[in-house]
């Protein structure tokens, strides 16, 4: 889910911390969290390990807080374009980084391309004698996976609606613990094995402990923005690697397609779970699980006040927006500084309230983009052309989605366009372009 | 095949393109995005009223560079990845200069695409169809020459000659002149990059 925070007027209370929408434009936030799959030990792989399937399906729905009333429309459009362009750049870098980490790992560490069992969510094997059976099994796997995701999303929405915040916090913390400690330990172990580097247990313990503890602090409490972003990218990459390892081939592609469709439905349909989650959060003026969303910019506000959750109600938010609330633990960096001057040509605006707003992209988007590119790198001939083509396709899709976001100014799913392009490019490059380019390169012919 | 071959060939093939990207595009990505979004004039005015309106030439350059990089990468990246692995080049009697030749050929293709882009856009804008024909024919020529593959000398030499000629043509098409070139080389041109990074 992609959220775009227009950095403008003071009525604009959508910033990356809160999911508050201004009274004028109650656009729904589609929250990624809605698609949190089973986590924290609920899933056990057939391989036997307690593989906590953290389906951080951050819904890749870009959602934009619009609402700059009282601005001349031309200026509005320019500013939108300007900030839209900035957001494109702000998101290209982390998405690229995540994909680079995943592809680098896939290409060097054998562990993540070895077939070693399947998750419990994809019980049907793809080792079947006939193609039809294999296709059927992959479709069934997909149905099971998607139903699990839908059920979990609805469960989360229900929890949120009935204000079971402690449960949700506990869930999130457990899943981050699992990612930051267990998966990191496994990853580090495999990397060390690949490069034949010896590490004793005390050093390992120290390293993993530091990495994990700082990660928990940065993600769930406060920390430098860059560090928080880096940790979010790393946990997305780790999760993507888990998916790449444990999803069988055809199932992975069908799941990618199905998830994009689900994303589209869940975010845009009026009764979609994510949309409902966002609207609920909006009504309550609460942020939506910031721990599972990548924010590209920081909210710098002056004069933050504690917002008592019980004193909601007012859609008229005061000029000094209350940003802190009981979800402080979700680690929004809250540095009370002014970041940037006002936009030119808008003299009425008070400087100290200017916030550098950014765009937010759900971690599930990162994960599924990386799964697509990683699968392209892992499967078949290990061809780089295919990997690069998928990478470019995803970036183009992201660019288009951001463009749509700037135009429509509401929550949009970030998966469908990118994944569609990615799938098209993967299959066409792998089957049509690759043999051609291989022959050209071996004879040193250039076109 | 060693890491030295890998890095050497990578930088030969993609070094100039990367340098062009870093020095001309990466520092001003907004301008490029606005260009591509087609809202050049209003958009840029909102950023910096003094900035010059990016022209079609800039778009031509950027798109040429993009095409060149993609073409070069797609042609060469698998070869590069193989160069990291074990093997002996030319063990069956082929030329041992396989990688070097591919790298230089990739370089010339990337630069040619940049120049072709500039010239092609100019031809389209001025509706001079012979320009488009020439671009098309030189591209065909350069590609057809690569059929002479084991004879690297003549292939590379003529490709580079064509590149230099196209480069000169693109330079004059983009608005350069002997005078501006002299000013640039002597770092006296106020508008040029080296004189003042900002005012381009």
DSSP string, A252-314: HHHHHHHHHHHHHHHHHSTT-HHHHHHHHHHHHT----GGGEEESS----SS--BPPGGG---
Min distance A137 CA to chain B CA atoms (Å): 34
Contact A388 B77 (CB under 8 A): yes
Task: Please judge whether A75 and B106 are an interchain contact, meaning their C-beta atoms are less than 8 angstroms apart.
Answer: no
Asked if B73's CB is within 8 angstroms of A388's CB, the reply is yes
A263 catalytic, yes or no? yes
Structure confidence at residue B37 (pLDDT) = 64
Range A100-116 average pLDDT: 92
Specify which residues A360 forms β-bridges with.
Answer: A3, A295
Query: What do you get for the CA distance between the two ends of chain A, in Å?
Result: 40
| Contacts across the A-B interface (CB distance below 8 Å) | 73
Q: Are A358 and A296 in contact (CB under 8 A)?
A: yes
Question: CB-CB: which of B33, B78, B98 is closest to A384?
Answer: B78
**A82 and B109: CB-CB below 8 Å?**
no
**Residue A310 vs residue A98, higher pLDDT:** A98
Taking the Cβ of residue A443 and every Cβ of chain B, the question of whether any pair is shorter than 8 Å is answered with yes
pTM of the predicted structure, to 2 decimals:
0.78
A74 in contact with chain B, both atoms CB, cutoff 8 A: yes
pLDDT at A426 over 90: yes
User: What is the three-class DSSP state of A359?
Assistant: strand
pLDDT tens figures, A374-425: 999 998 676 899 999 999 999 999 989 988 888 888 888 999 999 999 999 9
Q: What's the rounded Cα separation, in Å, for the pair A26 and A69?
A: 13
Q: Name the percent of chain A lying above pLDDT 90.
A: 45
Residue of B74, B98, B105, B149 to mutate for A, most A C-beta atoms under 10 A: B74
Report the pLDDT value the prediction gives residue A411, as an integer from 0 to 100.
81
Return the ∠ at Cα A19 (arms to A16 and A25), rounded to 5°.
110
Cα(A164)–Cα(B132) distance, integer angstroms: 67
Residue in chain B lying closest to A76 (CA):
B46
Interface confidence (ipTM) of the complex: 0.84
**More confident site: B174 or A343:** B174
Nearest residue on chain A to B26, judged by CA atoms?
Answer: A89
B143 contacts A445? CB cut-off 8 A: yes
The pLDDT of A342-348, averaged and rounded, is 38
Q: Which residues of B touch A (CB under 8 A)?
A: 29-30, 33-34, 37, 39, 42-43, 45-47, 70-71, 73-79, 81, 98, 101-102, 105-106, 109, 142-143, 146-147, 149
Interface touch A447/B106, C-beta < 8 Å: no
Q: Is A82 part of the contact surface with chain B (CB cutoff 8 Å)? A: yes
pLDDT tens for chain B, 200 residues long, are: 788 999 999 999 999 999 999 988 887 777 777 666 665 455 555 555 444 555 788 888 999 999 999 999 999 999 999 898 888 888 888 888 889 999 999 999 999 999 999 999 999 989 999 999 999 999 999 999 999 877 888 899 999 999 999 999 999 988 888 888 888 788 776 665 555 454 44
Which of B43, B98, B146 is facing A78, going by the closest CB pair? B43
Task: Give yes or no for A308 touching B (CB within 8 A).
Answer: no
- pLDDT of A111 above 50: yes
Residue from B43, B44, B67 whose CB has the most chain A CBs within 10 Å, to mutate? B43
Cβ separation of B143 and A437 shorter than 8 Å? no
Q: Which of A40, A55, A61, A263 is catalytic?
A: A263
Q: Which of residues 339-368 of A touch B (CB under 8 A)?
A: 344
- Interface membership of A313 toward B (CB under 8 Å): no
Chain B: closest CA distance from residue A8 (Å): 14
Is residue A158 within 8 angstroms of chain B, CB to CB? no
Asked if pLDDT for residue A263 goes beyond 90, the answer is: yes
Is the separation of the CB atoms in A233 and A97 below 8 Å? yes
Provide DSSP, chain B: --HHHHHHHHHHHHHHHHHHIIIIITT-HHHHHHHHHT-HHHHHHHH-TTSPPP-HHHHHHHHHHHHHHHHHHHHHHHHHHHHTSS--TTTTSS-TTHHHHHHHHHHHHHHHHHHHHHHHHHHHHHT-HHHHHHHHHHHHHHHHHGGGTT-HHHHHHHHHHHHHHHHHHHHHHTT--HHHHHHHHTT--TTSTTT-SS--
pLDDT of A44 > 80? The answer is: no
Tell me, yes or no, if A15 is annotated catalytic. no
CA A41 from chain center: how many Å?
21
Chain A hits for B102, Cβ within 8 Å: 441, 444
């Amino acid at each position: 889910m992609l959220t775009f925070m227009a950095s403008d007027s003071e009525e604009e209370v959508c910033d990356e911390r809160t999911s508050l929408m201004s009274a004028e434009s109650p656009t729904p936030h589609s929250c990624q969290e809605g698609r949190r799959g089973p986590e924290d030990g609920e899933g056990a792989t057939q391989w036997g390990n307690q593989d906590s399937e953290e389906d951080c399906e951050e819904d890749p729905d870009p959602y934009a807080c619009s609402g700059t009333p009282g601005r001349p429309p031309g200026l509005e459009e320019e500013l939108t374009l300007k900030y839209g362009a900035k957001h494109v750049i702000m998101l290209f870098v982390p998405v690229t980084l995540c994909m680079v980490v995943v592809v680098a790992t896939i290409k060097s560490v054998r562990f993540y391309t070895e077939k070693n069992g399947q998750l419990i969510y994809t019980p049907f094997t793809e080792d079947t004698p006939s193609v039809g059976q294999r296709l059927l099994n992959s479709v069934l796997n997909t149905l099971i996976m998607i139903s699990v995701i839908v059920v979990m999303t609805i469960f989360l929405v229900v929890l949120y609606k009935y204000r079971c915040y402690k449960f949700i916090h506990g869930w999130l913390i457990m899943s981050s613990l699992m990612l930051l400690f267990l998966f990191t330990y496994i990853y580090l172990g495999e990397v060390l094995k690949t490069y034949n580097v010896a590490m004793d247990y005390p050093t390992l313990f120290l390293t993993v402990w530091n990495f994990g503890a700082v990660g928990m602090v940065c993600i769930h409490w406060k920390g430098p923005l860059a560090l928080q972003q880096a940790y979010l990218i790393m946990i997305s990459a780790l999760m993507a690697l888990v998916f790449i390892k444990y999803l069988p081939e055809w199932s992975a592609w069908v799941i990618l397609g199905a998830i994009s469709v689900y994303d589209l439905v869940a975010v845009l349909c009026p009764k979609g779970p994510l949309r409902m989650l966002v609207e609920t959060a909006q009504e309550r003026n609460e942020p939506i699980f910031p721990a599972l969303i990548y924010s590209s910019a920081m909210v710098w506000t002056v004069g933050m006040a504690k917002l008592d959750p019980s004193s909601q109600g007012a859609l008229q938010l005061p000029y000094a927006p209350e940003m802190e609330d009981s979800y402080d633990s979700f680690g929004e960096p809250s540095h009370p500084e002014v970041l940037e001057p006002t936009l030119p040509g808008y003299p009425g605006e008070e400087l100290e309230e200017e916030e550098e707003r950014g765009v937010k992209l759900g971690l599930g988007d990162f994960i599924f983009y990386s799964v697509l590119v990683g699968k392209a790198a892992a499967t078949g001939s290990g061809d780089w052309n295919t990997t690069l083509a998928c990478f470019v396709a995803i970036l183009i899709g992201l660019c288009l989605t951001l463009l749509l976001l700037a135009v429509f100014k509401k929550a949009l799913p970030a998966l469908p366009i990118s994944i569609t392009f990615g799938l098209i490019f993967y299959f066409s490059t792998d089957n049509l372009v690759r043999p051609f380019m291989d022959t050209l390169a071996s004879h040193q012919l250039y076109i | 095949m060693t890491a030295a071959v890998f890095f050497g060939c990578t930088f030969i093939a993609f070094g100039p393109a990367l340098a062009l990207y870093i020095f001309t595009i990466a520092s001003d990505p907004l301008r490029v995005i606005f260009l591509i979004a087609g809202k050049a004039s209003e958009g840029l005015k909102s950023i910096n009223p003094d900035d010059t309106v990016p022209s079609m030439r800039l778009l031509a350059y950027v798109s040429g560079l993009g095409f060149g990089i993609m073409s070069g990468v797609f042609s060469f990246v698998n070869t590069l990845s193989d160069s990291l692995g074990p093997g002996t080049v030319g063990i069956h009697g082929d030329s041992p200069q396989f990688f070097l030749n591919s790298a230089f050929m990739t370089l010339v293709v990337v630069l040619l695409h940049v120049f072709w882009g500039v010239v092609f856009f100019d031809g389209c804008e001025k509706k001079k169809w012979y320009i488009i024909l020439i671009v098309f024919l030189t591209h065909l020529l350069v590609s057809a020459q690569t059929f002479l593959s084991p004879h690297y000398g003549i292939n590379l030499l003529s490709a580079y000659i064509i590149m230099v000629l196209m480069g000169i043509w693109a330079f004059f098409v983009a608005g350069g002149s002997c005078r501006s070139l002299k000013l640039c080389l002597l770092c006296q041109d106020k508008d040029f990059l080296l004189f003042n990074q900002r005012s381009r």
